[in-house]
């Protein structure tokens, strides 16, 4: 178990800067997930922490020790690669033992750790096989087992579940969370999948274009996104956005639609361009005042329903309702806010304008 601290980490490839001075502290035993779209720098940042890539500027400390510029092996970390990176010509047992043999560890200790990891990950029956004879999920376990045997200060995961099918992904997610609880280890996990981030993280770090957009617990990010990007990235289906203008410090006007009263509009100036953000589960259908539109498509999930609505001004909304809806495509509806509404500025940063819950 280790702590990690990044100070002003910068990475550039030629003239292209991909990491712009990142500061981050990770506490002992914390499960931190780096999430962001492709090219946001999350994998690069992980590789810099691992020591597989060197930053052009900044400082990395592990347990208070400056490790910037030291070799990967000297940092006491272990990594699960997206491709698993198992040695194809070695058996599972040899794969698990390889890193330990490098350290000239006593044979009995190597055997003990391999057996322990195999038992923990339920791969004891696979020890004599080679990676080519394993399924994707089994390979994934071996890759995790290889890091477990090392007993590292920090576990690093680089999109480890992206090559698995949906069902296995859910299962491995649960197992990884259980592994974290059991080992009480510091873990850093990179993914582009916000569901993985929401379900596994103690803390999510949302990255975009080499900068941290926001960090916090999954529900903090979900309930109080700092800007439109985070609001749109966290949550599935995605948050709905409607562009409008603040009116009278009380409501927001939309082209071709009735005005909506939004408490956060108190923080706006008259006529300010704003974006209203409402999560699909915070919208409902009403007989009274609401935004008029027509149902486009209905997706029945069984336990809940997704209703895609085109509003009178051609804007589109996704509404998520519990249970099974009776609505049909083509039906006229009125949509009202039934929960939290967020207002975002329309400047460069599209920052949140003090989001408040509606009464």
Partner 1 sequence: MSTLGRLIDAPFEALQRRLGAARMPYVFVAPNLLVFGIFVAAPMILNVWYAVTGGTQLMPAERPFVGASNFGELLDCDQFGVIASCRQDRFWRAVANTAWFVPFQVIGLVAVSLVTALILNRRMAWRGFFRAVFFYPVLLSPVVVALIWKWVLQPDGVLNALIVAGGGARVPFLLDPSWAFSWTVVISIWAHMGFYTLILLAGLQAIPADLYEAAEMDGTPHARVFWRITLPLLMPNMVVVLVLGLIRAVQSFDEIFVLTGGGPGTATQYIVQYIYETAFANQTHILGLAAAASILVGGVLMVLTMLQLAATAWSKR
Please report, as ranges, the residues that interact with partner 1 according to CB under 8 A.
50-52, 71-74, 77-79, 81-83, 85, 87-89, 98-99, 102-103, 146, 150
* 123 close to 142: Cβ distance less than 8 angstroms: yes
Q: How far is the CB of 28 from partner 1 (least distance, A)?
A: 21
Burial of 317 from C-beta contacts in 10 A (0-12 / 13-18 / 19+): buried
Give the Cβ contact number of residue 122 at 10 Å.
12
CB closer to partner 1 out of 150 and 208? 150
Crossing angle (nearest 10°) for helices 107-120 and 92-102:
130
Q: How far is the CB of 74 from partner 1 (least distance, A)?
A: 8
* Rounded Cα distance, 45 and 24, in Å: 11
Q: How far is the CB of 38 from partner 1 (least distance, A)?
A: 18
CB closer to partner 1 out of 21 and 136? 136
* Rounded Cα distance, 287 and 277, in Å: 22
CB closer to partner 1 out of 81 and 308? 81
Q: How far is the CB of 85 from partner 1 (least distance, A)?
A: 4
* Rounded Cα distance, 309 and 343, in Å: 21
CB closer to partner 1 out of 73 and 273? 73
Omega within 30 of 0 (cis) for the link into 339:
no
Q: How far is the CB of 49 from partner 1 (least distance, A)?
A: 11
Q: Where are any strands of DSSP class E within 86-202? A: 154-158, 186-191
* Rounded Cα distance, 252 and 268, in Å: 10
CB closer to partner 1 out of 79 and 242? 79
Q: How far is the CB of 343 from partner 1 (least distance, A)?
A: 44
- Dihedral of CA atoms 216, 221, 224, 229 in degrees, nearest 10, equals 120
Beta bridge partners, 335, equal 285, 291
Q: How far is the CB of 76 from partner 1 (least distance, A)?
A: 10
CB closer to partner 1 out of 10 and 50? 50
Q: How far is the CB of 100 from partner 1 (least distance, A)?
A: 9
CB closer to partner 1 out of 25 and 87? 87
* 257 close to 290: Cβ distance less than 8 angstroms: no
CB closer to partner 1 out of 23 and 74? 74
Buried b (16+ CB within 10 A) or exposed e, 131-153: beebeebbbbbbbbbbbbbbebb
* 97 close to 89: Cβ distance less than 8 angstroms: no
């Amino acid at each position: 178990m280790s702590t990690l601290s990044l100070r002003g980490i910068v990475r550039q490839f030629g003239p292209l800067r991909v990491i712009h001075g990142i500061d981050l502290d990770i506490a002992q035993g914390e499960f931190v997930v780096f999430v962001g779209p492709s090219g946001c720098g999350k994998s690069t940042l992980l590789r810099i922490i691992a020591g597989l890539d060197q930053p052009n500027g900044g400082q990395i400390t592990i347990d208070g020790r400056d490790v910037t510029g030291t070799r990967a092996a000297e940092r006491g970390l272990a990594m699960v690669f997206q491709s698993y990176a198992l040695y194809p010509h070695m058996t599972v047992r040899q794969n698990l033992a390889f890193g330990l043999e490098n350290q000239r560890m006593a044979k009995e200790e190597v055997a003990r750790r391999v057996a322990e990891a195999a038992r923990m990950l339920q791969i004891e029956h696979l020890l004599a096989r080679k990676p080519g004879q394993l399924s994707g999920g089994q390979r994934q376990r071996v890759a995790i087992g290889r890091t477990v045997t090392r007993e590292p200060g920090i576990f690093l995961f680089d999109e480890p579940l992206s090559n698995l099918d949906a069902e296995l992904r859910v299962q491995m997610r649960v197992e990884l969370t259980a592994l974290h609880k059991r080992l009480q280890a510091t873990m850093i996990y990179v993914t582009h999948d916000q569901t993985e981030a929401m379900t596994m993280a103690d803390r999510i770090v949302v990255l975009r274009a080499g900068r941290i957009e926001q960090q916090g617990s999954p529900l903090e990010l979900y309930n109080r996104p700092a800007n439109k990007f985070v609001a749109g990235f966290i949550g599935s289906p995605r948050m709905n956005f409607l562009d409008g203008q603040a009116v009278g410090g009380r409501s927001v006007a939309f082209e071709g639609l009735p005005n909506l009263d939004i408490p956060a509009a108190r923080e706006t100036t008259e006529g300010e361009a704003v974006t209203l953000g409402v999560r699909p589960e915070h919208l409902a259908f009403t007989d009274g005042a609401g935004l008029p539109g027509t149902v486009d498509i209905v997706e029945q999930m069984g336990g809940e329903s997704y209703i895609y609505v085109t509003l009178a001004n051609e804007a589109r909304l996704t509404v998520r309702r519990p249970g099974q809806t009776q609505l049909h495509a083509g039906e006229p509806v009125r949509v009202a806010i039934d929960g939290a509404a967020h207002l975002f500025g329309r400047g460069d940063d599209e920052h949140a304008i003090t989001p408040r819950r509606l009464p």
